[in-house]
Structure 1
Amino acid sequence: MGDRRVSLAVTPMNAEICDNGETCPARNVEIRDLARGLSGALFVSLPLLFTMEMWEIARTIPAPVLLVFLGVSLCFNRLFIEFAGYRCTDWQRSKWWDALVTMGIGLVASVLTLAVAGLIYPNLAFNSIVRLVALETIPTSMGAAVAINQLGGGDSGKDSGDLPFSTDMTVILGTLLGGFLFAFNVAPTIETKVITLQQDWWLISATFLLSVAVAYVTVHLAQFAERDMSKRKIITSELLETAISYIAAFLISMLLLWTFGYGTPLDPLEVWLPQTIVLAYATALGGAAGRIVL
């Protein structure tokens, strides 16, 4: 018998591949797809990451039940990917592998959010960390698996094509509408205040940086829709768009917290600023989704 060897073909990251009719390095497509998964994970599940009931259930849910849930979610992710997964090109798709990757993306999204929120920290019992991260990974991984369906339906390449607004105004309106709608799922709850009580200024600063990074990744790196900036007159760069959009998200968060009685700028700085930054994490993500849709 001849020497038969089984090898796993892996596309090198610097290999030139055809994606949507354009030739580009494979690493660019991989980064884009991972960004899509992370954005979808947070968009679908951020309210659950900010839910005290989830934190409490993680402490008491039996380990066998949690393991079964994780197994079921892996199978569900495989089914979600069958219809509209975070990857959209056949050349790179192994659907069970993609389902495993969505679990990893969900885990990363959960760890990042729970860490900056002060819900997991080095002195916390390892068993508690594993339970909380595992439980939150279930919805975040499903969000990653359906990222294209959740965020990929817009037509941003036609900035304000049929809208009575300038292309620059469309960016601002998309942020305001999407941010307000998404943050409204979090703003009335006590979780924002509870999270700030567990944070120090380092974690608050980390929340701010993560908010800006997520907003940038969702719109510019994930590439859910083509965007033509040549028609704009003022907001002509990705970084400027991200900065302006975060400021808008911050102001929306201040308004919502004032509306629901959690604080105003007339209160001491250490009362209103941390809560606004925490809520702006959700608002910035919603604003990014709004800009994609519009």
Structure 2
Amino acid sequence: MDQRAQQTRNFDFDGWRFAAGLGRGFAGALIFALPMFMTMEMWELGFSMDRGRLLLLLIVNIPLLVLLSNEVGFEATYTWGDALRDAAIAYAIGIVSSATILAAVGVLQFDQPFIEIVGKIAVQAVPASIGALLARSQLNGDSDEDDEDDEDPVQNGPRDYAREMFLMAIGALFLGLNVAPTEEMILLSYKMTPSHVLAVLVMSLIVMHGFVYAVSFKGGHEIGEDVAAWHMVIRFTLPGYVIALLVSAYALWTFQQFGDSSPWPVLATVIVLGLPCSIGAAAARLIL
């Protein structure tokens, strides 16, 4: 009886933790995706976005969620099977939360074509599913896990370095997706002169380096006395900025922001969006 009672208590505890994880997942989806739920450009993309690009975005999101779940999912994972399960749950949370919010604010109507409803939900489910997996770090859940290793990854080998680059990419998405589909990105690229673009580029690099490495925020890297400052710039800041620009370019291409523009407006738009993306990449360890 004692053993059966203990198993029942363990089942109840695990069930409670799973339910709490789902609650944090829905909360994270809202925190991350609510600005996009309220953005007209995202509504329009639901029926105007090229279906091939939308399908590619949905496919790319799957391994992204699996890797992210293995790092900072809304529930502790110990195997890749656990990570795949939580990624599927996060995707389901993204779909349900997107459909619920869009229907509540009147964006989804019963008389709309089925393909339009599916498109609107699908494009919003991507950021919402990422938010679901970021919920633990956003909402301080599951404190029983070991803290992340705060040692400088310069000393930790290629696996930790690759993890650092991956978290930078997620951080870039975290901020970049909020503004990538807006018309302001295109407007700014046409208003800016080459000197403005250069200034944004330099500002992005300075802010990115200072945000994590020069300013002692929690989770940031402190440059040890035995590590040259230029080494940190070459090893982390510059690759991080390249990742931010790649994320910026992919987001803009996916949301069809380039159109038939000439190379200069395209480059300017990528660098403009690269500013929030670079800040997100730099703050990745604080956000995640």
Short-chain TM bin: 0.3 to 0.5
- State the TM-score, normalizing by the size of structure 1: 0.43
- State the TM-score, normalizing by the size of structure 2: 0.44
